[in-house]
A and B are shown apart, each in its own frame.
Chain A
Amino acid sequence: MSRILLEVRDLHICYETSRGCVRAVDGVSLVIYESETFCLVGETGCGKSTLALAIPRLLPPNARLLSGDIFFRGMNLLRINENELQKIRGKEIAMIFQNPMTSLNPVHMIGFQVAEVPATHFRISWREALLTAIKQLGKVGIPDPDLRSRNYPHVFSGGMKQRTMIAMMTTCKPSLLIADEPTTALDVTIQAQILKLLHELKNEYGLTLLLITHNFGIVAEVCDRVGVMYAGKLVEVAEVREIFENPQHPYTKGLIGCVVARKKSKTRLNQIAGAPPSLLNPPNGCRFHPRCSYTTPKCLREEPQLIEVCRGHLVACHNYERVG
């Protein structure tokens, strides 16, 4: 772990809805180092996808960026203009999404869609771009890439569509690849193949991977460092072993207790009482306090800050000493 590749500073994003402002990301700061795999974990609605979308500025129109900065190699992505950003998107920062069915355009051939990326970013002819695309399709494990590049997305299986997305996003050898639940829609055997492919590409190109998932199995298998999000906040950041062996935040500890594989069969799992709060009107103080078993009066009043409890291990909890 060496140089900082991406730095998010005190980011606040909200969605304008008819019922008010949903504060999906509320003061998140984090650092991602070059060529590491960083995992964002959290449950539905905790803001992990919003945070990921904000990096290449792909947020939907009803999202409002309230404040904060995102530095990519020292450049503030939130301040540069659309032209400069276009040079970075797809070339330096690439993104793959959960549902490969909806990420591909159904009316264009696979080869065309993949070739568009190098054709946009490099001064090469369309023929060369197509050749690059076919080569890349072969690289991600599409059989007969030459033939298959003339197929339309609907004839591809889910796994092959996700491979196509990966091919598209890696033709330019980006430095940062953001993968938002890339395997959730796939079968376990295909999931293992895709994770392996990502791992190989990462080693070959020296990619930095920002992986978003809710599956602790995937976290353990592929990540170097983990950030746990809850209700729009980052509550814990640590190396993957630390997260599993020595979680310091009650929420992380609770989540890990929920994972079935870590419990004896037919016994009750530890469960976190209640449900995540609405982000329209989140609880005061620590957002986890209504579900937490360590709550003290201080948790109701004061919001805990992310502090470093030991080297590289950050926790936002007033009572971490009692939890750990």
Chain B
Amino acid sequence: MILTELLIVKDLKKYFEFKKSLFSRTQYVRAVDGVSFSVEKGTTLGVVGESGSGKTTLGLTILRLIEPTSGKIIFNGSDVTRLNNKELKHFRKSTGIVFQDPYSSLNPRMRVKEILERPLKIHSNDDEEARLEKIIKTLEEVGLSAEHLMRYPHELSGGQQQRVAIARAIILRPLLVVLDEPTSSLDVSVQAQILNLLLDLQNKHELTYIFITHDLLTAKHVSDFIMVMYLGKVVEYSTTHEVFRNPRHPYTVSLFSSIPIPDPKLKSRKRIEVVGEPPSPLNPPEGCRYHPRCPYATEVCKLKEPELLELSDKHFVACHRVNELDFSEFLNDMSSFLSD
């Protein structure tokens, strides 16, 4: 069982220092605050949350693109936080990342060929011919062709740019790819093309994905496991099937109530209304971070922070009232959309 776990994250924290002015006290933005999970090989973990929930920081920290404040990241048996430069280079080879905005993540002065050649030059001993062959093969895998080799990013459409970004992430045959909102800036029809491409690539190369998104329905479509984050904390974590069939955290259920569902028959479904806006992560509320917006909050929620507890097999929820709350009235109407 342990062998199949590609990535294990333990109590990961990332605090950013923040000073209002030169002489004021240093404050900390607790972007990721004690997150633990594991990802099995060949599966997709969907990380869902609103802006400011720390999902992007989590993705960057796992790849050590930013240094964690504390915690462990065990990738393929070794602790990523303790790698020296040489080992880190090897680690970089086995991971990839795709960002939300393809245009700003591709160097505008480099042609597609140069963009895709960079990782090969750094990480492999191939000669130029072998590199070109790999580049063309990868381009074809992502639905582009040799004719795009000499193009600059601005000559490509948004969907094509995202395909190049995906090609760059997978050209070294990584084990893990972090996808940070890869489809949010794209049109619906292009979104579908990119999601299909990602699923095909995963099947073909047994890739493991961490799919970061704010769109629950997209997360449901691609993920095997879902982790819901709120202000740097995990509030619910389970298999996709379980999270959608039997959500137990009020925040998860209110997200289901908030997402517009593309079926006019569900227009007047019963919903939990979320009041207010997410608080600043600079100064998160005491106790349960969700309590000021939670319709079920009681005294204990204001005082004590709930722990992430295993409720049933592989279903983790961080809520004091998890055993008392019943959300069936909100979920019944939507059941056709929430189950597969």
Contacts and interface: CB of A to CB of B under 8 A. Distances in A.
Interface stretch (B76-84, B107-115, B257-265, B307-315): B257-265
B261 A157 contact: no
A86 interface: no
Contacts of A275: 157, 159, 190
Contacts of B157: 275
Contacts of B195: 260, 269
A189 B189 contact: no
A188 B262 contact: no
B189 A266 contact: no
A219 interface: yes
Interface in A236-277: 240-241, 244, 254-266, 268-272, 275
Contact of B188 (A192, A222, A258, A268): A258
Contacts of B222: 265-266
Nearest to B188: A258
B218 interface: yes
A271 B187 contact: no
Nearest to B293: A189
Contacts of A292: none
B192 A270 contact: yes
Contacts of B259: 188, 192, 217
A191 interface: yes
B340 A193 contact: no
Interface in A199-258: 214-222, 240-241, 244, 254-258
A267 B35 CA distance: 30
B264 A216 contact: no
A187 interface: yes
Interface string B239-277: 010000000000000110111111111110001011001
B193 interface: yes
A216 B188 contact: yes
A145 to B, nearest CB: 16
B265 to A, nearest CB: 8
A260 B217 contact: yes
Interface string A262-298: 1111101111100100000000000000000000000
Contacts of A43: 187-190
Contact of A258 (B191, B265, B277): B191
Interface string A165-194: 000000000000000000000011111110
In this complex, which of B50, B214, B224 has the most chain A Cβ atoms within 10 angstroms of its Cβ?
Answer: B50
B196 interface: yes
Given A196-B273, A214-B188, A271-B189, A264 B196 contact: no
In this complex, which of B191, B240, B264, B340 has the most chain A Cβ atoms within 10 angstroms of its Cβ?
Answer: B264
Contact of B196 (A188, A244, A254, A268): A268
Given A157-B277, A192-B274, A270-B192, A261 B264 contact: no
A259 B240 contact: no
B82 to A, nearest CB: 35
B199 interface: yes
Given A188-B255, A189-B254, A268-B199, A261 B273 contact: no
A96 B219 CA distance: 30
A259 B220 CA distance: 12
A220 B157 CA distance: 29
A316 interface: no
B261 A217 contact: yes
Contact of A255 (B158, B188, B215, B273): B188
Contacts of A215: 260
Contact of B263 (A187, A220, A257, A258): A220
Given A221-B267, A269-B192, A271-B192, A261 B255 contact: no
In this complex, which of A217, A222, A244 has the most chain B Cβ atoms within 10 angstroms of its Cβ?
Answer: A217
Nearest to A42: B187
Contacts of A44: 158, 187
Interface in B148-191: 157-159, 187-191
B337 interface: yes
Contacts of B278: 187, 189
22 contacts: A43-B187, A44-B158, A159-B277, A188-B50, A189-B254, A192-B257, A192-B258, A192-B271, A196-B273, A219-B262, A221-B267, A222-B267, A240-B264, A258-B192, A260-B192, A260-B220, A261-B220, A261-B221, A261-B262, A264-B340, A269-B221, A271-B192
Given A188-B255, A259-B262, A275-B157, 13 more contacts: A157-B277, A196-B273, A219-B262, A220-B264, A221-B267, A241-B264, A255-B189, A258-B188, A258-B189, A258-B191, A259-B188, A260-B218, A268-B199
